[in-house]
Amino acid sequence: MFTTLIPSPTPGSTHEAIYRVEDPDSGLLGLIALHSTQLGPAAGGLRMRPYTSFSDALEDVSRLSAGMTYKNAAAGLPLGGGKAVILGDPTRQKTPELLRAFGRALQTLHGRYITAEDMGMSPQDMALIREETPFVAGLPDGAFASGDPSPITARGIFNAILTAHETCHSTRDIAGRVVSLQGLGHVGWHLAGLLRRAGAKLIVTDTDPERIEAAVRELGAVAVAPEEIYDAPSDIFAPCAIGGILNQATISRLKATMVVGGANNQLATPSDAQRLHERGILYAPDFVANGGGIINVATEILKIEDREGFVQQKLDALDQTLRRILTEAQAQGVSPDRVAIDTVNRIMASRAAG
C-alpha cells in the first residue's frame, strides 16, 4: 500500500492536499482530495468510475472536492470539503480486497477526510471500508446510519424550486407550472413526486426508457428523448442526471426561465453562470440546491440523535441562504453563482476569525 502526496496537483490549485493511493495486490488506484479542513474534517463521497486517464480522475476529484467545501459551508455544517475516487469499472473491478485497501489508505489520514457513498458505491461497500477505518458514513445499519440521502436531497431541491419561483413570481405556488426534468434516478424520481403533488406539470427524460415509461404511467409526465430536454417548453429546468450539461450549446436552447436541479457541477465552465444570467435565466447554484444529501449524511458523521429535527432545521436554513443569494443577485444584477461563492467565502472567513 502506497499513499503519496501529489505535489502541486493542478495549476492554481487551492487544495490542502491530494493523495494518490495505490495497492498493487488488490489493484487499487485512487485519489483522496482534501480541499479544505477549515470548517471541520473534509467530508464527501467516494466515486468509482472507469476514468479515461489518471489526469481525468485528478481533475474530477479536484473539482468535486472543492464543490464539497462550498456545499458543506452553504449548508451550515461543521465539515470541510473532500472527495475520493477509485479508477476502475465498479461492475468488474470492485472487490472486497480493493475496498479494504482503500479503507486502510483512508485510515492513514486519521480522520482528516470522512468518506461516504457516491457513484459506483453502495452502503454495503461502505460497511467493507468500515472494517478498516471508522472514518466512513453511509453505512447500511448501526446506531446513526443515515440511509439513502436521495429523498432529503430531493426535498432540498423542491424547496429551492419554490424559492426560485418566489423570487421570479412572488409566490411559492407552482401549480400549473411546467418543469422539465433530466434524470429519473434516485433524486429525480423523488423530486418528480414532490412536484406532481404540488400541481406542477412534468416533461421528463432519462437514458433508461423504463424510468421514462414509469413517469408517464404513474405521474402523468410527458416524455421526450434525452437530447430534446434542452428544447422543452418549460418554466423550470431541473437537471438531476449528470454534470456539465449547462454549456454554450445547451444554454441558448433553454426555454425555461429558472434552472434548479440536483446534479453536481451543472455548469460546464464558471462562465456558463454568466451566460445563463445574460439570457435572463435564474440559476440556483447546484452546491446550494442539492445540499440536502450531505445534511442527511452529516446526521451520521456528527452522530445526531434527533435526525429529523436536525434535517428540517438545516434544510430550512439552506432555503433561507438560497433566498438571500437569489435576492442579492437580483438586486445587484449579477449571477447567483457569483453571490453564492462570495457568501461561502464570507462564511469561511467569519468562522476562521471567530
Query: Whole-number minimum distance, CB 191 to ligand NAD, in Å?
Result: 9
Cα separation, 147 vs 141, whole angstroms: 8
Closest CB to ligand NAD among residues 76, 109: 76
Query: Whole-number minimum distance, CB 90 to ligand NAD, in Å?
Result: 12
Closest CB to ligand NAD among residues 184, 259: 184
Closest CB to ligand NAD among residues 115, 290: 290
Closest CB to ligand NAD among residues 62, 264: 264
Query: Whole-number minimum distance, CB 316 to ligand NAD, in Å?
Result: 18
Cα separation, 187 vs 155, whole angstroms: 9
Query: Whole-number minimum distance, CB 257 to ligand NAD, in Å?
Result: 21
How far is residue 189 from each of residues 149, 177, 233, 267, measured CA to CA in Å? 13, 18, 20, 22
Closest CB to ligand NAD among residues 133, 290: 290
Q: Which residue blocks in the chain are alpha helix, DSSP H?
A: 54-74, 90-93, 96-107, 123-130, 150-169, 186-197, 209-219, 248-251, 271-278, 286-289, 292-301, 307-332, 336-353
Q: Which three cell numbers stand for residue 73?
A: 459551508
Rounded to the nearest 10 degrees, the angle between the axes of helix 186-197 and helix 209-219 is: 20
CA triplet 164, 167, 168: central angle to 5 degrees?
Answer: 90
242: Cβ contacts below 8 Å, ≥ 6 apart: 183, 263
- Annotate 142-158 with b (16+ C-beta within 10 A) or e (fewer): eeeebbebbbbbbbbbb
Query: Whole-number minimum distance, CB 306 to ligand NAD, in Å?
Result: 21
The residues carrying an active-site annotation are: 83
Residue identified by cell 503519496 is 4
- Other Cβ atoms less than 10 A from the Cβ of 308: the count is 10
Query: Whole-number minimum distance, CB 262 to ligand NAD, in Å?
Result: 4
Cα separation, 306 vs 298, whole angstroms: 12
Q: Which three cell numbers stand for residue 318?
A: 439552506
Query: Whole-number minimum distance, CB 242 to ligand NAD, in Å?
Result: 5
Closest CB to ligand NAD among residues 187, 273: 187
Residue nearest to ligand NAD (CB): 185
Nearest to 49 by CA among 94, 97, 18, 15: 94
Closest CB to ligand NAD among residues 101, 263: 263
User: What residue ranges bind ligand NAD (CB under 6 A)?
Assistant: 149-150, 153, 182-188, 205-208, 211, 226, 240-243, 262-264, 290, 293
